[in-house]
Structures are given as C-alpha cells and as structure tokens.
Amino acid sequence: MNMQKTTVINLLIVAAFSTVFFSCNKSRDYKSSSRATGWNLNDKDGGFQYNPKAKEQETGPGLVFVEGGTFTMGKVQDDPMRDWNNTPTQQHVQSFYMDETEVTNLMYLEYLDWTKKVYPPENENYKLIYQGALPDTLVWRNRLGFNETMTNNYLRHPAYGDYPVVGVSWIQAVEFSKWRTDRVNELILESEGYTKRGARLTDVDASTTFNTQTYLNSPTEAYGGNMEITQGGKTSERLVDRDSTHLFVQLTDGLLLPDYRLPTEAEWEYAALGLGSLRSYNVYRGKKKYPWDGQYTRSGDRKTRGDQMANFKQGDGDYGGIAGWSDDGADITAPVKSFDPNDFGLYDMAGNVAEWVADVYRPIVDDQFNDFNYFRGNVYTKNSIGEDGKIELVTTESIVYDTLSNGKILARNLPGEILQVPVDDNETYLRTQFSQSDNRNYRDGDKRSTRNFQAFNEELEEDESSTRLMYNSPKHSVESGEEGLERQYDQENTRTTLINDEVRVFKGGSWRDRNYWLDPAQRRYFPQDMATDYIGFRNAMSRVGSKSKKGKSARN
C-alpha cells in the first residue's frame, strides 16, 4: 500500500513538473522570445525591440481595399480604332488600396492651402513652389466656346468642391501624392502621442516640415531637427523614461502607412473591371466591357431602368441630355459618387474624368518579360550620403526646380526631403533583375527596337541615329536667357511619333468622350507635364502583408 502511495506521489510530482515545464515552453513563442536565438524580445533591459501588437495594415483616409488576383489585361472586344495597343495578356496584381473617388477640388485646395502657408509665394525663394502646384485653369478655354465660367470658378468655388480636379499634369499629381503621404503619417504620429500636439498646424514652416522617409531614416532631423516637436508627445515622454534605445517610431512598429501614389495601369484596369463578373469559382468567364455588368451604358435595374451608368458624351452636341430630362445629370464633370460604385466600391471608374496612371506609354505591354505587377516607368534611386556618412537633406537653399517643355517651372523636391541620386554599380553589379537606374525604355528603343533593324552586327551611322529610332519624338527647347525663358519648337521634319519617355498613360472615358472610351482596357497617352480639362487622377497605396483581409470562404 505504501509502495502504491509512493508511486502515486511520484507520478503527481512528474505531472506537476511537466505542466510547469510545458507551460513555460508554450509561453515562449515567437512573440515573447526569438525563434532564432531564444533571447527575449522587447526585454526591458534592452535587446531587439518588436511590436507584438502590430496588426494588418490600416486603410488610409479615402481608400478602399482591392484584393489582388489574376485577370485578362487588354481588350478582347472589337477594335474599330485599329490602335493595336491593348492586345490581351494575362496579368497578376498584388492586393492594394485605391481612392474611393477621384481627387476632388476640395482635396486639392487643401494641398494648395498648406503649400501657400508653408511656402508663402510672396517670398521670392518660394513663389515658384506654390505657382508650380497650381492647376492650369485655362484648360477650359476654347477658341469657339464660352467657358469662362469654368475658367474662373471651377477650381475654387464651393459649388464645385466635390467635383474632380482637372488641369493637373501627371507631375503635379505625383507631387500631390507625396504631400498626402506626409500629411497622413504626420497626423498618425500626433494622434498616437509621439509628436507635439498641434505642431503640424502652428510650428511648421519651410525649414521645419515633416517628411515620412526622413523621419524613418534619420528621425532626429525630422521637422528640421526640432526635438521639441518629435519628442513632444505624451507617448514619447513615456518612451524616454522606459527605453532609451527606441525613442522614435520605426518601420518595425508597423504604425506609419506606405506611400500614396498613382496606381499602375495594371492596377487601375483591374480595379475598374471589378471582381464579380470576372470569374465563376476559379474559371474565367471572359471580359467585361464596362465597370458594371452588361454590354450597355444604361441601367437594366427595375428602379433605375434606362438611366445612364456614367457621365460621358452621348452624341454630337449631347453632353447631358435634354433639359428637364437629363440623361446623366451633368454637362461637364459631375460630383463624385453621382453614380453607383463597381464591385470593389470604387466610383466613376468610367466617365466623369479620365485618370492619370503611373506608367510610361508604349503600344505593347511586354508580358513576355513580366506578368506580375506589370509597370513600365521604374527609375531607381537611393538616398544621398554625405562625406560625414549621414543622409543629405534638401534645404531651403538646395531646392531643385525643373523647367518643363511648356515653359512652366516646378519644384521637384522640397526642404526636409532626403536628396535622391541614381543607383550605381554598388547596387547593379552582377545583378540579374536590373542593371541601370532608368528603366523606362527597357526592351524598347534599343537597337533591336528601331524601325529599320536588320541584323545584330549592324551599327547605325551617326547621321541616322536620330531618325531611325522607333520613338523619334519632337524635342522642344526651353532655356533661360537674358530676357527670361526662351522657347523653341522642334521644327525637325523627320519626326515620326509623339511617344517618348515623358508621355504617360491615362485611362477611362471622360465627360468629353464617347462610350467607346469607357472600356477599362482602352489606353491613351498625354505628355506628363501638360494638363487638360478632362484628365484627373486618384491615388493608390500598396498593401503590405497578406493578400486577403479574410480567409477563404465557400461561395454558396
């Protein structure tokens, strides 16, 4: 009996020990200790700091989630225009976010207001910054049309506040996107208590602006090095007392959002198509003609039967229908959200205004080289490092201005940003993915892409090199002279195309276009430094992490 009692006691001791041992091991998962070294993560005595509470990416202001996937990019309908520039290819895009609507006049006016306050145009050093951000309101003028009402009112009058902004070039749209990224992340840091409350409104001037990449790479130089701002929040005060090695938000915290940017052409077309009618289970069922279901521009729904599904030109002299019975409710642009969204929840992906996308235009989408996140326009850069080994920032004295082909002057970097330089051999040597900084012309425009290519060993003569290139576009001259800018049109009579590395794709039909252009597969191009009264834009943002926000579920 005593032996049995002893055995039971021993078993209980072993069980208790095992419970403690396994529970300790169970608690030592990757969120509390390293699976690589066994060291504690976020140890109060130091070591590697990691945010175990980091969740999936937050949806930024104005954006909706678009789950990525495979789709047929290009046109499978008839091509009466004979453009031959949208041959169907199968592409895959990663998940991303996109603006619910086009960028509106009100959104752009907020950008102008901030720019004017931080870089006052009455200051000679900054006047070109504000002037370069202004939309071109003269795009509304027509030699035989009375459009002065839009010229004088469309951008600023509150009656047009929810209308899409126009008169914005591709370059201006990119600069707006950069500004938006910084303002959103600046607010996140303030809201989370890391930076001084209200500093973004009261303490910021041209020399103390916030830039996301500067904060992440050299946080002590953010806000012009003003530590009263960067360490002025309540959370920052607690961090100083607790941990001197983690005084600023880092990329590993997962708090700051990726960049707002222009969508790629593949992303835009995928998002415009919507998802619902592209597949049946995992079988593709052909191609949609419009962002909505069906082959017609009028609604087939019982309540709205016969109503137009988008704002577009319906015929010669017919921009909106008969008075009292307007077909689409608009003659020029319409307020955003005037029509139903597509399957992704995106409004006006056809009609209203056409939209800039990020890509440089080429007639052929080179799917033989890449069919994953296709994009033509990569120009790789890196942070400039000074002789002291620190990153170099743009200052109020080192702003770079570009004189565009139309004579306009635009600031291409602003104080507080990290100076960017092209990548060199340190990044490209023996790499297979890329060999140079500028890849806009990759596999297109080299010797084998010339119109008269005959053989690999044939060399072009010096006087032939400029006339036989496939993309032999005009080269206008704009130079600074004693009496101001000297503009000179290219008068060469051997030019054969308008395509070059500075023309960008725009997608979707507009209020000026017939329904042929409403097909998301249609693609056109326009110089990146010019603007029109029918091209606007919307922003996108890359998705980091999982492809889907939720797991797979049964369709039925």
For residues 151 and 288, membership in a common domain is answered with yes
Q: Which residues, 6 or more positions from 15, have their beta carbon under 8 angstroms from its beta carbon?
A: none
d(CA 31, CA 34): 8
For residues 178 and 265, membership in a common domain is answered with yes
User: Contact 438/454 with Cβ under 8 angstroms?
Assistant: no
For residues 259 and 354, membership in a common domain is answered with yes
Q: What is the pLDDT of residues 248-289, one digit of tens each?
A: 888 988 999 999 999 999 999 999 998 655 554 454 555 568
Task: Enter the tokens of residue 328.
Answer: 């689409």
pLDDT of 16:
58
Residue 407 lies in a domain: yes
For residues 183 and 203, membership in a common domain is answered with no
Task: Enter the tokens of residue 218.
Answer: 């050299």
Q: What is the CATH number of the domain that holds 142?
A: 3.90.1580.10
For residues 315 and 285, membership in a common domain is answered with yes
pLDDT of 538:
98
Among 415-429, 480-494, 520-534, the least confident range:
480-494
Q: What is the pLDDT of residues 206-257, one digit of tens each?
A: 999 999 999 999 999 999 999 999 988 877 665 554 445 567 888 988 999 9
Residue 555 lies in a domain: no
Choosing from 219, 238, 253, the residue where a domain stops is: 253
For residues 169 and 311, membership in a common domain is answered with yes
For residues 83 and 98, membership in a common domain is answered with yes
For residues 317 and 368, membership in a common domain is answered with yes
For residues 247 and 259, membership in a common domain is answered with no
**Residue 59 neighbours by CB distance under 10 Å:** 14
Helix axes 105-118, 170-191, angle to 10 degrees: 80
Residue 244 lies in a domain: yes
Range of the domain at 12: 1-41
pLDDT of residue 455 exceeding 60, the answer is no
d(CA 508, CA 300): 22
φ and ψ at residue 159, rounded to 5 degrees: -60, -25
Q: What is the pLDDT of residues 493-521, one digit of tens each?
A: 888 888 999 999 999 999 999 999 999 99
d(CA 122, CA 130): 10
Residue 368 lies in a domain: yes
Residue 492 lies in a domain: yes
Residue 461 lies in a domain: no
For residues 203 and 351, membership in a common domain is answered with no
pLDDT of residue 338 exceeding 80, the answer is yes
Q: How many domains does the chain fold into?
A: 5
Amino acid at 445: G
pLDDT of 496:
81
Residue 5 lies in a domain: yes
For residues 1 and 127, membership in a common domain is answered with no
Residue 553 lies in a domain: no
pLDDT of 423:
96
Task: Enter the tokens of residue 303.
Answer: 């309540």
For residues 270 and 134, membership in a common domain is answered with yes
